[in-house]
Amino acid sequence: MTRQPPTTLLRLLEDSGRHVLVYDIGRRVGAIGRGVFARFESAAAPYPLPMQRKARFALVQIADGAEPVVWFLQFALDEQGLIVPAERDYLLVRLLESAQAGQAGGDPQRALHDNPLAFRPRDDRMALFHARLGADLDRAPSRYYAHALDYFHGRLGWDQWEFVGYQGIADVACRHDDVPLAAAIAQLPPPPLIALCHCLESQLVAVPLRDALLHRLDVALRHPSPDVGELAALIRGLSSQAGTRAVRERIAGVLAHPAAGDVELLAALSGRAWEALQDRSLLDLWLARLADNAHGQAAFTQCVADLVGVPEMSATLRAALRDPNHPNSVRRAVSRMTEKGAGRHPAA
């Protein structure tokens, strides 16, 4: 009997005898459960962490004694956030051809060359992915780790941040959820603080580190002209704790601050710390500030369209968009988005 080819990427890559791990590379850099991804790939569930209507992920083949083989892929999503089967099937055909070429001594990743479904993450996301994967596999960190760890311990001087590599910061973020970072937060100049927070957004931070970030956020908000980039980064660093009462209370304060009209801050909240917006009162505040943002209707439409694609936010946001009790600015922004959406508007 002729063997049927695998019908999913997971099965195809696992047929090689290797264990396969899945990592999101878009909204957050972190592992996705095999069962969750399998349901997505079979079109039984939406992608859990979409970003701008795309699923961006890495499939990692693991075998004892060998370097991991990584496949960076991106799929367009339909209106429900589901996979477009034709894209997956196209890639399956290419991968089968590539596997045959590999058996003949060719490049097993040839299928990704000039393939629109393959992509290379930005350098910062790539550094964070390698740091996260290395920590998950209990592998040695990069050669930049020791120097970065010394810096966060305060041994080098806080003004020496320019000599700390981003890969080292990512390695520290993925391997330390508290010490020495909690003590360092108050001392860090803005550039290394922002870099660290961008790495922490994908990590589960411990309560002492959470509290240190909250204190730094309080200090920043008391400044007459706070650095919006620093505020946005601190919100991103608090992402893993966005569902906690302490963080939600601070986010309410951020949204009440004049700086909250900046779309960078609003996008950081919905793009990385969206769990806080499951609180309907915070979601309404976010919509009100977004409707008055300095970049206008385009920013409102983009942020709302991105957030409504997150499965756990979809129902709450759709209900909020239909609420007639919003301020006039929100109702006007929703109306304009509806007019341009022509039937595909997320509030429909």
pTM assigned to the model: 0.92
Are 210 and 171 in contact, with CB atoms under 8 Å apart?
Answer: no
Does the pLDDT at position 160 exceed 90?
yes
Give percent of the chain above pLDDT 70. Answer: 91
Q: Residue 62 corresponds to which amino acid?
A: I
Strands 19-24 and 69-76: unpaired
Q: 242: which residues sit within 8 A by CB, 6+ positions away? A: 248, 251, 273, 274, 275, 276
pLDDT of residue 136: 97
Q: Which residue has the higher pLDDT, 342 or 248?
A: 248
Give percent of the chain above pLDDT 90. Answer: 82
* pLDDT, tens only, 194-218: 999 999 999 999 999 999 999 999 9
Tell me what the mean pLDDT of segment 138-155 comes to.
98
Q: Which residue has the higher pLDDT, 143 or 347?
A: 143
346 by Cβ neighbours in 10 Å (0-12 / 13-18 / 19+) ranks as: buried
Q: Which residue has the higher pLDDT, 27 or 104?
A: 27
Q: Single out the residue of 185, 198, 55 nearest to residue 123, CA to CA.
A: 198
Domain ranges of the chain: 9-112, 123-278, 288-348
